[in-house]
Structure 1
């Protein structure tokens, strides 16, 4: 028995409005005014994509890094407030971030 079932038992007449459920879904990532910077570099001869410029909590940015790596099926890491993705995936990453509601800016090349 989860929390919703317990609350229904305590308050059987209460109806859940749609705005309550939408607010809980929108709190996943903190949206910002400044665009995320998506740039391309080569380190030790191998291409990488770097995403930086997130001003929210580190835990949210780490979650975003995890989602990106799973979605692309590649390796990467989160270091020094940057997401580092192995390979040149700027176009795909920018499209993914824009679908999530972020503004993006392409830098380099």
Structure 2
């Protein structure tokens, strides 16, 4: 069984690699990584909240009420996290105010 608490993807990172990318399902794993372990983390799982109630100045994501990493790009020190809304659903087979998305990322050297 998999658990964020027991996961240690950083042990698989090659420190000599020019670019280290972690592909993981659950975005909060980025908070468990040692600084500099990966430059880019690609995650999903959140479905952009799946069932969203918008209000002036924000929105409530009912599928993941406490989620802070629901969709988009975030920076954690030297690590960039991209959370894709994806195409899927969870617990009910529809989305409400949470658009499905396929993301194309283009990586360029500095």
TM-score where L is the length of structure 1: 0.24
Structure showing greater radius of gyration is 1
TM-score where L is the length of structure 2: 0.24
- Between Structure 1 and Structure 2, the one with more helix by share is 1
